[in-house]
Structure 1
Amino acid sequence: MENIYLAKQPILDRNKDLVAFELFFRSQELENSANPENGLSATANVIVNAYGHLGIQNVLGQQRGFININGDLIRSDLINLLPQKHVVLEISSSEIIDDELIAHCTELKKSGYQFALTGVTSVNENVQRILPLINIVKIDVSRLSQIELTELVKQMKRWPVLFLAEKVESHDTANQCMHIGFEMFQGYFYAKPESISGKRADPAKLSLLNLLTLVMSDSDLEEIDKEFKREPGLSYNLLRMVNSAAVGIPQKVNSIKQSIMLLGRKQLQRWIQLLLYTTENSKNNEGLDNALLRTAAARGKLMELIAAVERPHDKNYQERAFMVGILSLLDTVLGIEMQQIIDKLSIPEDMSQALLIREGRLGLELQLIEANEMGEVKTIQSLLKELDFLNLNELTNLELAALGWVNRIGEAAN
């Protein structure tokens, strides 16, 4: 099977709940191909092979996946191999909409597929022909002014479609789109929300950071237990988690000390790191935090798996790699400088270099994961060449393992 490259970007609703991912599939062969006909065949094969080989549940969890398709793929039998309940088929507004394409889309819609129309900037004749079959209209909000966006949405409200704003990259743009009437959102702002100057760190998160400091510095059990008792909500969550995971134990665990001993310091540290990305008290941010939690957790696990390929017998290095991935978004969540987090946690030099300036081996691996999240294929290939121990296919397989781990965490938490 050909090498498959996979990237995905979160899609959120008006409540900032994670509802879907846009998936990007490419192959190394396709990337270097100069023949458009071969390109079409490769695109179809990559998408279908990806779903068969990668496993839809590993890639998406419970969310839907938006995937780009073209007219030739719609007309082929291959499209029917994609699971209706898990995908939204994205058609470009520049696609030539003829009677044959409309007929195929109509049949696919009858069998349960949903369609999104992407790249819309005006309601021309081509767009009007396909709109009756469209569920979601995706608009690149970076290409239009607020007045143009408002007018476009107003014109398209004649059709029963949902509006998705893509390329949302700031708070201002997000708020404007919300006001105009967009129901779904994607972009760098949601994939990695910007840190707001002057933002106050949540006291509960600072308490978690104190706990993380105690665990990482090998403080005694009494001190960790005392810190937990200052936060009843954390104590409850820890007991609930340990009891749900403690298979085979004859009786319920009912003390913090017992929970910590049962869980072990390494797992306790990981649990606290992940908990830093959740917000118990803010209903408005739960979905955003969920998207960040999944990104941070996937980064941590993928960093660990990559480090295990590079240094299979160095468990300490693998653990440092996991921590770099998890901590890499923490400055955004807490609203404080990364340097302050590093100082508080007394982080080793190689981790500090990776988190602050993306240098060293761990820094290169973090760069690789960030490029993968953004779909920057050339950067990915360049970094793989520089690291020189991993290829694109191996990276994809490791990413799938990481995504499977993240999905299992999510299921255990519910």
Structure 2
Amino acid sequence: MPTPQFFLGRQPIVGRQRELVAYELLFRTSQDNNAEVQDDVAASAAVMQHAFSGLGLHAVLEDKLGFINLSEPLLRSDVIEILPRERVVLEILETVPLTPAVIERCRALRAAGYRLALDDVIRFDEAQKAILPLIEVVKLDVLAMQSRETEALVRHLKPFGVQLLAEKVDSTLQRDFCHELGCDLFQGYYFARPTILSGKPVQPSAMLLLKLLNQVATDAETEELEDTLKHAPDLTVHLLRLVNSVAFGLPRKISGVRTALTLLGRAQLHRWVQIMVFAQQSATHTAADPLVQTAALRGHLMERLCQTLQPGDEAMADRAFMTGMLSLLDALFGKPIAEILQPLNLEEKVQEALLHRSGWLGQLLRLVEGMELADHDVTATLLAGFPQLQWDQLNRLQIEAMSWAARLGREESGVASSREPA
């Protein structure tokens, strides 16, 4: 059968200090009608093979684990053996009955070196008790339980030595409650859909970065930029590290801010400032923070989509990057985005896209946001607005953007070392 159209959703899984630990990978295929079991397995196999072999596992996960959902037919099939056991956690969906045959299959997978997880657990029964010795991670559906039920479930599960992952965490209250219970991992809209975050204290350097961003956007004199950076020594250190990095191939080290600004150039400075706004204001001050990665991914994906749709128009590509990168400012600062944008004096096209999701850039932003939901129908509807863009191109650019965003976390300074070529 032909390889089904698909795209890849990726939701962060974080640890107790909000450090990025893994991703849940969400595959979606286009199914026009009900498929037979064999077709479902074959389609899943093709999607997995395409993603892991064709597009590249390293680009998708970098050095993190990937949680993969398994239905019962897929769990029973040999298809999952194409997955690299050292890089994935096989997540048994809540719809899979924990029969003796399923438990025996899980025992064989565990013996083969695969890690197993239980999804959407809301109770503790005999079937689960029988499979727990084979399970490494138990995902607790905190939205489906009262607080006392979650607490009791954690108490039952702790003696089995499994890692407890609180999923569907969508508020600070839920996160704090599960943290106090001793959950090891966390997943949910609170982390991956950052618009839910509110009331974050604003870091002083982040405010200076917004000022710097406005200065760069309005083509301020180098003296003004230098003066702003003098009020933020930590940012100056990041800037010097960036310019002195091997990626720029400079024959000598740079110690002066003015020289660094000149060598970096306005385009690169603009890119660095946008990324640093997020890295500086994020809770962990690192580009490995899920919020930083989501913003960076949006920016780079929008830039690459623009370069594909409007080749040669680098000015529009820069606008696209800024639109994607700044589309999470409300989450970052816990304020209405209109209030944050007011002093930035952005171009009208970018402003309208950010405030109203209108215009060509706004349409492109809605497409990227739709892909984050890993909903094929939503993405297909939005993709229809770009008839010159094919699914395969969209998939390839999405994986490339994921890889680019993941690499940010490896930089000591928390910024990208250089702008990637198209």
Matches of 2:196 and 2:220 in 1, distance apart? 31
Letter in 2 for 1:339: A
Per the TM alignment, residue 277 of structure 1 is displaced from its structure 2 partner at its CA by 0.9
1:319 aligns with 2:321: no
Per the TM alignment, residue 279 of structure 1 is displaced from its structure 2 partner at its CA by 3.4
Q: 2:20 aligns with which of 18, 21, 24?
A: 18
Contact 2:143 2:169 in 1 (8 A): yes
Structure 1 residue aligned with 2:192 = 191
Identity of aligned residues (%): 37
Per the TM alignment, residue 276 of structure 1 is displaced from its structure 2 partner at its CA by 0.8
Matches of 2:373 and 2:158 in 1, distance apart? 31
Structure 2 residue aligned with 1:373 = 372
Contact 2:18 2:289 in 1 (8 A): no
Per the TM alignment, residue 173 of structure 1 is displaced from its structure 2 partner at its CA by 1.4
Alignment of 1:10-409 (within 5 A): 10-28=12-30, 31-37=31-37, 38-194=39-195, 199-279=200-280, 285-286=284-285, 290-409=289-408
Matches of 2:408 and 2:355 in 1, distance apart? 28
Matches of 1:333 and 1:129 in 2, distance apart? 44
Letter in 1 for 2:146: S
Please, what TM-score do these two structures have when normalized by structure 1? Answer: 0.93
- Count of aligned residue pairs for this structure pair: 410
Per the TM alignment, residue 5 of structure 1 is displaced from its structure 2 partner at its CA by 1.3
Per the TM alignment, residue 363 of structure 1 is displaced from its structure 2 partner at its CA by 1.1
Write out per-residue CA displacement over residues 168-219 of structure 1, whole angstroms, 9 at most, x where no aligned residue: 1111111122222221111111013346665442211111111111111111
Contact 1:9 1:191 in 2 (8 A): yes
Structure 2 residue aligned with 1:4 = 6
Per the TM alignment, residue 248 of structure 1 is displaced from its structure 2 partner at its CA by 3.7
Please, what TM-score do these two structures have when normalized by structure 2? Answer: 0.91
Write out per-residue CA displacement over residues 50-96 of structure 1, whole angstroms, 9 at most, x where no aligned residue: 21112111011111110001333333333222112211100023313
Contact 1:10 1:18 in 2 (8 A): yes
Write out per-residue CA displacement over residues 88-120 of structure 1, whole angstroms, 9 at most, x where no aligned residue: 100023313334433332232233211110121
Range with greater deviation from structure 2 (92-101 or 339-348)? 92-101
Matches of 1:197 and 1:80 in 2, distance apart? 43
Contact 1:12 1:19 in 2 (8 A): yes
RMSD of aligned alpha carbons: 2.0
Matches of 1:40 and 1:403 in 2, distance apart? 26
Matches of 2:45 and 2:401 in 1, distance apart? 25
Contact 2:195 2:330 in 1 (8 A): no
Letter in 1 for 2:260: S
Write out per-residue CA displacement over residues 206-265 of structure 1, whole angstroms, 9 at most, x where no aligned residue: 111111111111111111112112211111111111111355422211111221121111
Contact 2:140 2:166 in 1 (8 A): yes
Matches of 1:278 and 1:337 in 2, distance apart? 20
Write out per-residue CA displacement over residues 107-135 of structure 1, whole angstroms, 9 at most, x where no aligned residue: 32233211110121212232222211001
Contact 2:71 2:95 in 1 (8 A): no
Range with greater deviation from structure 2 (193-202 or 69-78)? 193-202
CA distance change for structure 1 residues 189 and 104 in 2, over 3 Å: closer, same or farther?
Answer: same
Contact 1:116 1:134 in 2 (8 A): yes
Name the SS for the 2:402 alignment partner: helix
CA distance change for structure 1 residues 312 and 194 in 2, over 3 Å: closer, same or farther?
Answer: closer
CA distance change for structure 1 residues 200 and 14 in 2, over 3 Å: closer, same or farther?
Answer: closer
CA distance change for structure 1 residues 246 and 139 in 2, over 3 Å: closer, same or farther?
Answer: closer
Range with greater deviation from structure 2 (383-392 or 393-402)? 383-392
Letter in 2 for 1:32: D
Contact 1:195 1:331 in 2 (8 A): no
Write out per-residue CA displacement over residues 135-185 of structure 1, whole angstroms, 9 at most, x where no aligned residue: 111121111111111111112223121111111111111112222222111
Contact 1:10 1:20 in 2 (8 A): yes
Q: Which runs of 5+ in 1 are unaligned?
A: none
Letter in 2 for 1:15: Q
